[in-house]
Amino acid sequence: MAQPPLRFDGRTAVVTGAGQGLGRAYALLLADRGAQVVVNDIVAEAADRVVDEIIASGGTAIADHHSVTTPEGGVALAEQAQDGFGAIHIVINNAGVNRAADFVDMTPETGSELFDEMIAIHLLGPCHVLWPLWPAMVEQGYGRVVNIASGAVWGLRGQWAYAACKAGVMGLTRTLAREGRYHGVQVNCALPWAVTGPSPDRSGDQFGPIIGAHMRPENVAPAIVWLAHEDCPTTGESFTVDGGRMARLGWVASEGHTDPAPTPESCRDHWDQIMDLTSFTVPTSTNDHMRNTVMPAYERLSPSTEAPPQLQ
């Protein structure tokens, strides 16, 4: 028997940076599936256009023009969303900018300025939005948060500040998920890849045909909308969404090498074992890593059936 389509009737979603590109695609699809959408973008005309698109298609939406880079902007966004629709059920933290610059070209002044800009929008931005909305989600016992990171975290030249902040978003996701799971609030992270504007000619590039054919915002949006749905069973995970391809990213630890009296030489001599991911664990938290990875490694060094000595 076919499953019913996923709907968001009675749900309200806040989508930041939704005036164009990926954010616009998320907002349009959520509205098409019945959600009331708060379309946030500091470019007022862009946000208003998306709202007009949604209303023209029979959906419900309001625009918000506040910046998520300040606490005041986050509070104002939350107030406008709640004044317009009441309870907020979904937050998609999508707003962002990208500034490419090689690390070698930075000075302490220019590097700090660039980093501050990236932190304000990519790392603090989600916090500014969630700080005023999170308590209400906890109180109502329901919430879905999707934080948007980037494949730049794997390493991309010129993206040192951007990648560092997006990696921070992944860590933020893990910890918020641990807190939220006790209150019905799920938090996941997506690393989308889509062409959202004019790009250089890729005709000679090996990835060109795939990028041109599949890496579009409308192909990414379904995965993000699924993570925002009440039926999605997962929290605290990160997913790469490469156009129409969605895949879980694993936070894994190799079995490694354990030495009760380590030296630099023991690391060198067992480097292949340390690097070998043939056997690995997938920690779900810091405590889980200690319990299922670290402790067993030490127990294998000196297995004993005797009871541990009692402390005096």
**What residue ranges define each of the domains in the chain, with the CATH number in brackets?**
12-249 (3.40.50.720), 253-301 (1.10.287)
Token output for 257:
């090498």
Neighbour-count burial for 256-267, b at 16+ CB within 10 Å, e otherwise: bbbeeeeeeeee
Residue 50 · residue 104 · CB < 8 Å: no
Closest CA to 24 of 83, 94, 99: 94
For every one of its 312 residues, what pLDDT tens digit does the chain have, with 9 covering 90 and above?
889 999 999 999 999 999 999 999 999 999 999 999 999 999 999 999 999 999 999 999 999 999 999 999 999 999 999 999 999 999 999 999 998 999 999 999 999 999 999 999 999 999 999 999 999 999 999 999 999 999 999 999 999 999 999 999 999 999 999 999 999 999 999 999 988 764 444 444 666 677 767 778 999 999 999 999 999 999 999 999 998 999 999 989 999 999 999 999 999 999 999 999 999 999 988 999 999 889 988 888 875 544 444 544
297 Cβ neighbours under 8 A, 6+ residues apart: 255, 256, 258
Q: Name the CA radius of gyration of the chain, rounded.
A: 22
Residue 64 · residue 38 · CB < 8 Å: yes
Q: How many CB atoms lie within 10 A of CB 106?
A: 16
Q: Is 109 exposed, middle or buried (0-12, 13-18, 19+ CB in 10 A)?
A: exposed
298 carries an active-site annotation: no
Of 142, 162, 182, 298, the active-site residue reads 162
Specify the pTM. 0.91
| DSSP tag of 197 | S
